[in-house]
């Protein structure tokens, strides 16, 4: 609880039903504790506590003894009463004690724990409308209570409660009354219907709406299901925004995908001075965006006494190309210099002669020089700028990061011979991971989606999180409904340093729940549980993956303990092929 004890939000279930609180937490992926306070028959307050992790219900602590684990185990005939009494006399969690003693199998215990969580969650839908609620964001009051948090899909949990007790919600009747008689119920194309785990007549109602969108009143008159069940299904899908009512809203939990813009990076050339002098003026050095004409003067002589220094106050055009200061001329040997306004109408022409390095004298009688401009005092004469060649980015070849300057570039460099003897300072090398990510991003548009996923798997095996995330998310952006892409993107994010593995494991759990026969999803969930220290859970996932696909190399290696035979991969073509085929 916060130090000030003030809740983030509070109210009564009469104004905000419990189902609305759950949807609010799901949509905003809240992490905190919800307290539900009711008054017992004796007049004493009782507080039920429910915690959320990334919007999903995680743990429930009732204020009474409702749905105790020992009672559920005895009801299902898994243990006897005397075994339960002996286990309760020992220290530790009841489930762990029974599993360690060999009285209950781990799979059976997990099944009963899931049933216990469902019973306690559905019961919260039956609370009286006078119950007060308080929510504390960022506070987990049940962090050290009970076993691990639940991994049941919140969509499925919400429907479990509404299927039985939707009529308890005060907002059900107003929501259904707002539907017009001629408004067809069109299911949103992005509605995650598979997460609701619909069965029987409920699934028949949804299938009918998928085939032919029907108005609510007409749907109630059809002989597809009881009217009360139709009302609850429609209300639940309205609450989760699974209907496209023409308002442009996405279903709950579906975030809009922001398009990714891939761009190349132009490395700028730096300017290094031989002699330390006064600080550079604003706009000087590598920040200048337009080329300047270099004077061909003798480096050993002082500047011409009558020559005015070039102005540094001219504005930089926002649409001018970004050209580094003192950049090497193009291959043709010509530099297009934009025209500049003269400093004064009487100023002498200081343009250099292309054939000689002398400054020509102005024609005609000399004119009075303009008033001297104030300038900052310099401790030493203005130094001659020296161009130090930097390595060029190899944007055309992703196998190279930065190459050295060629001999031709050195020949056309205007640095004097005496200055070339000075050893230049080398630029700091670019991190290998950043350069690899940029190289991959530039090559993604021309690479097929199956090859992107294949390369993402290879990078996941090499624990290269940065590149694996880029490849997997690029494939997911192309195919949002592709289960393989969703799985690779979810697991690649767990490899990022300092990632919240427990929170990210919910995404993989959702994929496994919707695709229980997907061997690769079982394998990656086993890898994640192994990293979390759950060796028993990891072993079960590896065994299940191997049972589903005996040819899966990772699952066979974990189960059999032997290296899988690795066939020579086919030679890939294109830029990514050269990048990963080394």
Q: Indicate whether 134 pLDDT > 80.
A: yes
Residue 82: partners with Cβ closer than 8 Å, 6 or more residues away = none
Query: What band does 371 get if pLDDT is binned at 50, 70 and 90?
Result: low
Confidence at residue 303, expressed as pLDDT on a 0 to 100 scale: 47
pLDDT score for 114: 93
Residue 439 to residues 188, 491, 496: CA-CA distances in angstroms? 38, 22, 19
Backbone angles phi, psi at 77, to 5 degrees: 75, 20
Q: For residue 580, is pLDDT > 70?
A: no
Encoding tokens for residue 316? 């930089």
Q: What is the pLDDT of residue 553?
A: 85
pLDDT tens digits along 514-523: 888 888 999 9
Residues 450-495 have pLDDT tens digits of 888 888 888 898 888 888 888 888 888 888 888 888 899 999 999 9
User: What is the helix (H) or strand (E) element at residue 417, kind and residue range?
Assistant: helix 417-420
Token pair of 578 as six digits: 């050269």
* Residue 290 predicted with pLDDT over 70: no
Q: How far apart are the first and last CA of the chain?
A: 54
* Whether the predicted pLDDT of 242 surpasses 80: yes
The CATH architecture that domain 434-566+575-580 belongs to is Alpha Horseshoe (1.25)
Q: What is the structure's pLDDT at 12?
A: 94
Tell whether the model's pLDDT for residue 280 goes beyond 60.
no
Domains of the chain by residue range: 9-142, 171-239, 434-566+575-580
Band the pLDDT of 350: cuts 50, 70, 90: very low
Residues 262 and 36 sit within 8 Å (Cβ to Cβ): no
| Percentage, residues of the chain above pLDDT 70 | 65
pLDDT at 552: 86
pLDDT of 308 above 60? no
Task: Give the angle subtended at the CA of 159 by the CAs of 137 and 155, to the nearest 5°.
Answer: 55
Q: What are 353's two structure tokens?
A: 């002669």
Which range (129-143, 232-246, 311-325, 530-544) has the least confidence?
311-325
> CB of 96 within 8 A of CB of 1?
no
What does the block give as tokens for 292? 């300047």
pLDDT at 385: 46
Res 13 pLDDT > 50:
yes
What per-residue confidence (pLDDT) applies to 432?
Answer: 52
- Rounded Cα distance between 482 and 485, Å, is 5
pLDDT tier at 417, thresholds 50, 70, 90: very low
Q: Look at residues 485, 433, 438 and name the one whose alpha carbon lies nearest to residue 463.
A: 433
Q: What's the pLDDT at 73?
A: 94
As a whole number of angstroms, the distance between CA 50 and CA 33 comes to: 6
- Residue 564 is predicted with a pLDDT of 40
pLDDT for 414 beyond 50: no
Q: Look up residue 404 and give its DSSP letter.
A: P
> How far is it, in rounded angstroms, from Cα 462 to Cα 341?
59
* CA gyration radius, the chain: 36
Q: Residue range 370-395: average pLDDT?
A: 48
Is residue 384 over pLDDT 60? no
The 8 Å CB, 24+ separation contacts for 204-213 are: 205/229, 205/230, 205/233, 206/233, 209/185, 213/184, 213/185, 213/186, 213/187
């Amino acid at each position: 609880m916060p130090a000030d004890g003030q809740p983030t939000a509070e109210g009564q279930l009469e104004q905000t039903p419990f189902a609305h609180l759950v949807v609010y937490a799901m949509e905003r992926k809240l992490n905190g504790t919800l307290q539900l306070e009711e008054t017992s028959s004796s007049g004493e307050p009782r507080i039920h506590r429910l915690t959320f992790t990334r919007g999903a219900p995680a743990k429930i602590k009732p204020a009474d003894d409702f749905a105790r684990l020992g009672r559920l185990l005895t009801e299902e005939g898994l243990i006897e009463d005397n075994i339960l009494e002996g286990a309760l006399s020992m220290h530790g969690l009841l489930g762990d004690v029974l599993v360690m003693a060999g009285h209950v199998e781990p799979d059976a215990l997990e099944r009963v724990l899931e049933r216990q969580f469902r019973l306690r969650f559905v019961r919260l839908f039956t609370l009286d409308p006078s119950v007060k609620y308080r929510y504390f964001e960022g506070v987990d009051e049940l962090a050290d209570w009970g076993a691990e948090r639940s991994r049941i899909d919140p969509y499925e949990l919400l429907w479990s409660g509404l299927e039985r007790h939707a009529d308890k919600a005060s907002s059900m009747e107003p929501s259904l009354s707002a539907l017009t008689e001629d408004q067809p119920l069109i299911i949103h194309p992005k509605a995650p219907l598979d997460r609701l785990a619909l069965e029987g007549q409920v699934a028949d109602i949804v299938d009918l709406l998928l085939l032919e969108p029907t108005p609510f009143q007409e749907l109630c008159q059809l002989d597809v299901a009881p009217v009360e069940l139709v009302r609850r299904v429609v209300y639940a899908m309205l609450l989760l925004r699974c209907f496209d009512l023409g308002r442009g809203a996405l279903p709950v939990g579906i975030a809009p995908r922001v398009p990714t813009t891939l761009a190349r990076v132009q490395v700028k050339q730096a300017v290094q001075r031989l002699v330390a002098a006064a600080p550079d003026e604003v706009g000087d050095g590598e920040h200048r965006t337009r080329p300047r004409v270099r004077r061909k003067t003798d480096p050993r002589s002082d500047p011409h006494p009558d020559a005015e220094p070039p102005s540094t106050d001219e504005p930089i055009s926002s649409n001018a190309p970004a050209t580094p200061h003192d950049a090497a001329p193009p291959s043709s040997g010509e530099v297009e210099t934009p025209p500049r306004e003269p400093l004064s109408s009487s100023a002498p022409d200081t343009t250099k002669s292309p054939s000689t390095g002398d400054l020509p004298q102005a024609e005609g009688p000399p004119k009075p020089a303009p008033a001297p401009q104030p300038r900052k005092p310099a401790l030493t004469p203005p130094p001659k700028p020296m161009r130090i060649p930097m390595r060029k980015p190899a944007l055309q070849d992703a196998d190279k990061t930065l190459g050295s300057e060629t001999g031709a570039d050195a020949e056309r460099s205007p640095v004097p011979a005496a200055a070339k003897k000075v050893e230049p300072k080398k630029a700091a090398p670019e991190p290998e991971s950043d350069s690899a990510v940029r190289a991959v991003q530039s090559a993604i548009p021309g690479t097929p989606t199956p090859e992107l996923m294949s390369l993402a798997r290879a990078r996941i095996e090499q624990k290269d999180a940065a590149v694996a995330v880029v490849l997997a998310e690029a494939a997911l952006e192309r195919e949002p409904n592709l289960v393989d892409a969703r799985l690779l993107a979810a697991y690649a994010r767990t490899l990022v340093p300092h990632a919240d593995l427990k929170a990210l494991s919910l995404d993989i759990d959702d994929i496994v729940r919707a695709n229980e026969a997907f061997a690769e999803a079982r394998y990656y969930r086993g890898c994640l549980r192994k990293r979390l220290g759950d060796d028993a859970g990891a072993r079960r996932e590896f065994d299940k993956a191997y049972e589903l696909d005996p040819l899966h190399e990772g699952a066979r290696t974990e189960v059999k303990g032997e290296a899988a035979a690795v066939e020579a991969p086919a030679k890939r073509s294109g830029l990514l092929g050269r990048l990963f085929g080394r």
